[in-house]
Structure 1
């Protein structure tokens, strides 16, 4: 092959140092992001959480059980009686709801929080495609717990006999730890 100005044509393969660098980058990406491809069944099993026994619609889901970033965000729509039983089965006191929007500005860690601040992290709000109406009152609960002691925030949107449940993990409990 002919050299041009001291450059040799590429052999199509990567050199030894380049291969090592590419492998390191791929390994580092997995470590930093965690296992982003965990199946829904595996994540639910890791949290010791099942879907309710009734038919559900509009299921959204994302989560992982490996560190860093042990998390779960899930939503579905089901009959209101089923959603309420699902909450009771996970230690939620339905007689003591919080509400969104909240009734006043709050101050947490020196930061002012608007009454209409989103109830979930931005990624979860996007996943849920949740556009809340600040003129409507939504019930919220904190304290939904799994047998692995993972805790979730929950928001309900009731429409007639159906309720949409949105939930996001707050505390990982013992998820990811061997029992």
Structure 2
């Protein structure tokens, strides 16, 4: 297993605990991770490759409806808050695209999901890249929920 840590002072186990997120129970490869649980930058980005069945179960365990994917690239231009968004705009922020070393092929369709939630109501956006019997999962926090706050 390869582990790449982020630049923050918090270690992986503390960040995962803060988000109430566990790694999948199956063997993973190419694990990358960065995150922190304290303001101003409550954040978690993680990727790994595992068997497709494990990745799908991991998503189901976190309330993702696999029958309702979004896709990258999108089917057309979109607009959010008056800002035009091209169909090939990267699915994650620049720092996480670099961390994930993602070079997406715009001629291919990648499944995307929102709504991946942890028990602390942190929500993630997820992109899947199937590779034979394995799938690479890339995830970036979207809403921090109650992370870093006392319960």
Q: What TM-score do the two structures reach when normalised by structure 2?
A: 0.95
Aligned twin of 1:162: 134
Give unpaired runs (5+ residues) of structure 1.
1-34
Counterpart secondary structure, 2:139: strand
* Cα distance between partner residues in 2 of 1:112 and 1:151: 24
Counterpart secondary structure, 1:156: strand
The alpha carbon displacement at 1:47 in A equals 0.2
* Cα distance between partner residues in 1 of 2:92 and 2:146: 22
Q: Higher relative contact order at CA 8 Å, sep ≥6: structure 1 or structure 2?
A: 2
- Is 1:52 aligned with 2:40? no
Which structure is larger by alpha-carbon Rg, 1 or 2? Answer: 1
Aligned twin of 1:62: 34
Counterpart secondary structure, 2:18: helix
**What are the Cα deviations for residues 83-133 of structure 1, in whole angstroms up to 9, with x where unaligned?**
000000000000000000000001111111000000000000000000000
Q: What TM-score do the two structures reach when normalised by structure 1?
A: 0.80
* Cα distance between partner residues in 2 of 1:88 and 1:140: 14
- Is 1:80 aligned with 2:52? yes
Within 5 Å, give how 1:86-101 maps onto structure 2. 86-101=58-73
**What are the Cα deviations for residues 125-150 of structure 1, in whole angstroms up to 9, with x where unaligned?**
00000000000000000000000000
The alpha carbon displacement at 1:51 in A equals 0.3
* Cα distance between partner residues in 2 of 1:58 and 1:136: 22
* Cα distance between partner residues in 2 of 1:165 and 1:76: 6
Among 93, 106, 109, the residue aligned to 1:137: 109
Give unpaired runs (5+ residues) of structure 2.
1-6
Larger strand percent? 2
